[in-house]
Amino acid sequence: MILVFIGTAGSGKTTLSAAFGRYLEENGYSVGYVNLDTGVKSLPYRPDVDVRESVTAWELMEEGLGPNGAIVESYDRLLPEVDEYASRIARLDGERDYIMVDTPGQMETFLFHEFGVRLMESLPEPLAVYLFGPEILKEPHDFCFVRFFSLMIDLRLGTTTVPALSKVDTVEDLEGYRKFLDDIEYLTARLKLEPSTQGLLAHKMCSALPELAPPTRVVYLSARTGEGFDELETLAHEHRCTCGDLT
C-alpha cells in the first residue's frame, strides 16, 4: 500500500512520513520509505529509495545554478530514470506492508514536472494525501480552496486524494475548522453570506463540489502528537480494499 504525501513547502510531508511510518511499525507493520526530494539535506527516516542517489540540487548549485534552477534541472535529469524508480518503489511495495513516499519540498515540482506525473501513473494504486497547514485557512473561501485543490491533484495525477489538515496540535478551535471542512452543505450556506467576489465564486464552486468530488472525508493530523494516525491508517486500509471509495 503506497501513501504519497503531497503539499506546499513546510506543510509537514517529511515529518509525517517519518512519524506515520514509525506509528505503523510500532503497530507491527513493515514500512518502506521513499525520498523524492533532491533538495533535502537530512531526513528523519532512513530512505530505502532515495532520488539523491542519482542527483542532488546541491551539486547542481555548485555547478552554478540558482536554487530554483537547480531543483528543476535535477528533475530534468531524473526523468530518464523515472521508470526505474517506479519499478523500485513497486518492488518495495511487494516486500513491505506500507510505503511512505515523501515528495519534493516544493509541491509544483511534483505536480508540474513530468517526473512526478509519470511516476504516479506508474505506481500501483497509490493513495495521495494532500497536506495543508492551518495557517492557510483564514476565510470561508479558503476552505473551498483546499477542497478544490485536493480535487485538482486527483485530476492531475489520476490518484485518489485525501485532503488532510496537518499540524492540528497548533490549532485551538479544531471544531471550528471541522465544521467547514467536513460539512460541504454548511460551508456552501456560509459562503452564500460572503459579499466579496471570492465569496461568490467559492459559493458557486462549493455548490458543485458534491457532484464533482468523490465523497472523501478529511483527516486531521499531527505528526507531533500522532493525532489522526488511526484515522489515516483506516483510510489507507479502506483504499486498499475498495480502491477509491473513502466515504
Site map (CB under 6 A) of ligand GDP, residues 87-116, x = contact: ------------------x-----------
- Residue closer to ligand GDP, measured from CB, 48 or 205: 48
- End-to-end distance of the chain based on CA atoms, in angstroms? 19
For 247, counting Cβ atoms within 10 Å of its Cβ (0-12 exposed, 13-18 middle, 19+ buried), the class is exposed
Give the DSSP letter of residue 132: E
Binding to Mg ion by CB under 5 A, coded x per residue (else -) over 95-134, reads: ----------x-----------------------------
- The reply to whether 11 sits near ligand GDP by the rule CB under 6 A is yes
Q: Kindly tell me which of 13 and 239 has the beta carbon lying closer to Mg ion.
A: 13
Q: How many helices (H) and strands (E) does the chain have?
A: 11, 7
Give the residue, chosen from 7, 47, 126, 228, that forms a contact with ligand GDP under the rule CB under 6 A. Answer: 7
Q: Does 14 bind Mg ion (CB under 5 A)?
A: yes
> In 160-186, which positions are buried (b, 16+ CB within 10 angstroms) versus exposed (e)?
bbbbbbbbbeebeeeeebeebbeebee
Query: How many Cα atoms within 13 Å fall on the side-chain side of residue 180?
Result: 21
Residue 69 binding: pick among ligand GDP, Mg ion, none (C-beta 5-8 Å cut-off by kind): none
CB of 185 to ligand GDP, least distance (A): 29
Q: Which stretch binds ligand GDP (CB under 6 A): 85-93, 119-127, 200-208, 222-230?
A: 222-230
Chain-centroid distance of CA 193 in Å reads 31
C-alpha cell at 178: 471541522
Binding-site ranges for Mg ion (CB under 5 A): 13-14, 105
Binding-site ranges for ligand GDP (CB under 6 A): 7, 9-15, 105, 166-167, 169-170, 222-224
